[in-house]
């Protein structure tokens, strides 16, 4: 791109950035200069930042202030920045002069009255000593919904296990419950979640609660609350790596247990933290599949197997009608199975059931909102294998989503899955393996729900500008063909995928092989990826085995999984594509 501009243009732009301190937008506004996007690419390619001279903060602020002062036709943002820079310079000047002034003041004070020294009381970190039970009760009664108040009234059981629908405020509630008890009773709390971000949500909720309602700033890891009478309580926030918290003890909260890999191992380690009788354990989750290791605990089979139960007829009834109002069961676990209908009827006004039914297929609605486990007996994929593909995107050193080119010039694959009608569509971006040992990594997912053909095609075109795209696979069975024709205008090599039993077999066989060999990786904060694959089931079409996901006329299902497979199919069944190139494909 930069070859279109004269060398002196590039040199001038570099000087404005390195020595002049101008931003990309300001340089772009100068005569003959390219757009800010091109300038940013030049800066990355040539490491302009490393060329900038080392200057202190005061010099940097002064330089920027002078530039803005000389600028003609200043806008509101410029004046706002001038005010900010002025305040910073004054503060820096005062800080620089502070030692001399302090010495002068000290000498003066000693000369006048050496016995009149003033002492300052050290500020207590995370000071919650002024928060009372009455204040928390007032907040509880004003803030919580009926189903959350019911949980509050049933928190004294040694072990609770709650099966719940999505988006009903469970994480927020249990953050409040834990904070309440920590302040009132001084008990430590440990939070374990299926993902790193989910654990951070617990922490963020508690920090926000303290700031909003008590004007207290919390910080630290763990959060150590300073309580009345010199006591304290520690709040630990962990993902599924419970080994890092084994030295802690306290009440244990385990979130989304049905999406945690190696649950038996985790449970053995985690429950040790709540060994002492004063501590309690709370499991809560949306359902996944009955083959998950946590299902034996939920169903009572674990108790029957391991406790050598003398009663051969011992069973735990986990039907909704039995557990909807909560029940202390024979194995000592208090269970509740809540559906979205239960929650809305009780007074939760943030969900429209009819809207959910129009947006999800019947199976998906039942799984996400009605407490129904996915029947994986006929699923083409195994949850255990899928959870083995969970990774941590923060450890991908070659990927930065905020960059203009997030994956630099490394090759990627795009998969597009539209629905049978125009109101549902998903696009994914996968890394393209260059060796048989490399993985397909799920870099980006776009939900294009509700967009027309042109908008969807334009969104995919933008991806070709961000990434070095080697392949775009598009389902052309239904409305996808209209989008496919538009895609061909800017990416002629796009692959049409017209569904039939043979093609579906090929797509699924490839994905199963990749997943079973752990050559697929998706971030731990994307659990819907696993659920999407689980909903792909075998079916018989004539004398052939095919696959389906119970689509309806108004909504697609397992769209993320199919989009991923549309991208993976670029690689032959036999292995890595030998024609993969690092050159620009579009």
Q: What are the DSSP calls for 372-427, one per residue?
A: PPB-GGGBSS-HHHHHTTEE-GGG-TT--TTSSSTTTT-EEEEEEEE-SSTT-EEE
Each residue's pLDDT expressed in tens, for the chain with a length of 586 residues: 334 677 778 888 887 777 666 788 888 888 788 888 888 888 888 877 666 654 455 556 555 665 666 566 667 777 677 667 666 666 655 555 555 555 555 555 555 554 444 445 567 789 999 999 999 999 999 999 999 999 999 999 999 999 999 889 999 999 999 999 999 999 999 998 877 667 778 888 899 999 989 999 898 888 999 998 889 999 998 876 655 555 678 999 999 899 888 888 888 887 888 888 899 999 999 998 888 899 999 999 888 887 756 677 788 999 999 999 999 999 999 999 999 999 999 999 999 999 888 877 787 788 889 999 887 777 889 888 998 898 888 889 999 988 889 999 999 999 999 865 444 689 999 999 998 889 999 999 998 877 888 999 999 999 999 999 999 999 998 778 889 999 999 999 999 999 888 888 899 999 999 999 999 999 877 767 888 898 888 765 555 566 766 543 333 457 899 999 999 999 988 776 544 433 333 3
Same domain, residue pair 171 and 209: yes
Q: List the domain range (segments joined by +) for residue 7.
A: 2-76
Same domain, residue pair 179 and 211: yes
156 domain residue, yes or no: yes
Same domain, residue pair 396 and 327: no
Phi/psi for 247 (5° steps) reads: -75, -15
Q: Give the DSSP per-residue string, 163-222.
A: E--SSSSHHHHHHHHHHHHHHHH---EEEE-SSHHHHHHHHHHHHHHHHHHH-----SSS
* Domain count within the chain: 3
Q: CA 536 to CA 549: how far, in whole Å?
A: 5
Phi/psi for 399 (5° steps) reads: -130, 125
Same domain, residue pair 526 and 478: yes
Burial 458-483 (b: 16+ CB within 10 A, else e): ebbeebbebbbbbbbbbbbebbbebb
* Sign of the alpha-carbon torsion through 160, 163, 168, 172: positive
Q: CA 449 to CA 459: how far, in whole Å?
A: 12
Same domain, residue pair 313 and 169: yes
Choose among 354, 351, 352, 356: nearest CA to 367.
356
128 domain residue, yes or no: no
pLDDT value of residue 201: 83
Integer angstrom CA distances of residue 528 from 125, 233, 364:
39, 35, 11
Tell which of 33, 60, 76 closes a domain: 76
Q: CA 253 to CA 240: how far, in whole Å?
A: 12
Choose among 465, 463, 384, 395: nearest CA to 430.
463
Q: Give the DSSP per-residue string, 134-152.
A: HHHHHHHHHH--HHHHHHH
Q: CA 183 to CA 127: how far, in whole Å?
A: 11
Contact 558, 361 (CB under 8 A): no
Same domain, residue pair 43 and 176: no
Dihedral angle computed from the Cα positions of residues 301, 306, 312 and 317, in that order, rounded to the nearest 10 degrees: -20
Q: For the chain, how far is it from start to end, CA to CA, in angstroms?
A: 13
121 domain residue, yes or no: no
Choose among 374, 431, 464: nearest CA to 571.
431
85 domain residue, yes or no: no
The CATH number for 248's domain is 3.40.50.300
Q: 560 burial class (0-12, 13-18, 19+ CB within 10 angstroms)?
A: buried
107 domain residue, yes or no: no
Contact 346, 326 (CB under 8 A): no
Same domain, residue pair 552 and 449: yes
363 domain residue, yes or no: no
pTM above 0.85, yes or no: no
pLDDT value of residue 98: 52
* Sign of the alpha-carbon torsion through 24, 30, 32, 35: positive
Same domain, residue pair 485 and 349: no
Same domain, residue pair 382 and 350: no
Residue 580, helix vs strand vs coil: coil
Same domain, residue pair 263 and 308: yes
Same domain, residue pair 403 and 487: yes
Contact 353, 341 (CB under 8 A): yes
- How far is residue 562 CA from its own chain's centroid? 21
The CATH number for 440's domain is 3.30.420.240
Report CA Rg, the chain: 30
Same domain, residue pair 267 and 416: no
187 domain residue, yes or no: yes
573 domain residue, yes or no: no
């Amino acid at each position: 791109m930069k070859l279109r501009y004269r060398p002196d243009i590039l040199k001038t732009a570099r000087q404005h950035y390195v020595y002049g301190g101008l931003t990309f937008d300001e340089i772009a506004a100068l005569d003959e200069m390219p757009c800010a996007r091109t300038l940013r690419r030049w800066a990355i390619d040539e490491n302009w930042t490393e060329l900038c001279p080392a200057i202190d903060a005061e010099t940097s602020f002064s330089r920027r202030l002078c530039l803005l002062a000389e600028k003609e036709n200043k806008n509101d943002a410029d004046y706002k920045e001038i005010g900010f820079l002025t305040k910073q310079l004054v503060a820096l000047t005062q800080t620089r002069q502070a030692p001399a002034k302090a010495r002068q003041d000290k000498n003066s004070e000693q000369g006048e009255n050496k016995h009149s020294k003033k002492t300052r009381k050290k500020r207590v970190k995370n000071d919650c000593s002024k928060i009372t039970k009455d204040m928390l009760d007032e907040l509880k009664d004003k803030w919580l919904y009926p189903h959350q108040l019911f949980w509050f009234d049933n928190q004294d059981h040694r072990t609770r296990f709650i099966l719940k629908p999505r988006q009903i405020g469970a994480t927020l509630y249990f953050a409040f419950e834990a904070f309440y008890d920590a302040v009132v009773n001084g008990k430590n709390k440990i939070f374990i979640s299926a993902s790193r971000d989910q654990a951070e949500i617990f922490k963020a909720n508690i920090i926000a609660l303290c700031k909003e309602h008590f004007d207290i700033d919390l910080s630290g890891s763990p959060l150590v609350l300073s309580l009345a009478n010199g006591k304290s309580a520690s709040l630990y926030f962990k993902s599924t790596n419970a080994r890092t918290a084994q030295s802690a003890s306290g009440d244990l909260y385990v979130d989304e247990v049905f999406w945690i890999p190696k649950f038996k191992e985790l449970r053995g380690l985690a429950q040790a933290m709540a060994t002492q009788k004063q501590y309690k354990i709370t499991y809560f989750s949306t359902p996944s599949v009955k083959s998950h290791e946590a299902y034996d605990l939920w169903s009572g089979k674990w108790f029957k197997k391991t406790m050598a139960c003398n009663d051969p007829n011992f069973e735990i009834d986990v039907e909704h009608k039995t557990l909807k109002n909560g029940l202390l069961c024979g194995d000592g676990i208090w269970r509740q199975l809540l559906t979205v209908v239960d929650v809305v009827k009780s007074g939760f006004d943030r969900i429209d059931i009819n809207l959910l039914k129009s947006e999800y297929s019947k199976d998906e609605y039942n799984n996400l909102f009605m407490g129904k486990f996915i029947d994986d007996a006929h699923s083409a994929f195994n949850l255990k294998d899928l959870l083995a593909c969970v990774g941590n995107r923060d450890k991908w050193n070659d990927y930065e989503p905020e960059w203009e080119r997030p994956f630099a010039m490394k090759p990627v694959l795009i998969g597009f899955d539209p629905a049978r009608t125009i109101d549902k569509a998903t696009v994914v971006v996968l890394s393209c393996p260059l060796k048989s040992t490399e993985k397909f990594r799920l870099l980006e997912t776009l939900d294009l729900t509700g967009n027309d053909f042109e908008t969807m095609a334009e969104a995919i075109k933008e991806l070709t500008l961000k990434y070095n795209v080697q392949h775009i696979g598009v389902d052309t069975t239904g409305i996808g063909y209209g989008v496919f024709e538009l895609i061909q205008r800017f990416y002629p090599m796009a692959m049409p995928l017209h569904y039939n039993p043979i093609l579906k077999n090929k797509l699924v066989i490839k994905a199963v092989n990749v997943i079973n060999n752990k050559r697929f990786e998706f971030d731990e904060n994307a659990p819907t990826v696993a659920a999407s694959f689980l909903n792909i089931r075998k079916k018989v079409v004539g004398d052939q085995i095919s696959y389906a996901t119970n689509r309806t006329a108004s909504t697609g299902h397992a769209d993320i999984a199919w989009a991923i497979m549309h991208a993976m199919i670029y690689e032959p069944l036999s292995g890595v594509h030998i024609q993969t190139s690092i050159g620009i494909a579009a």
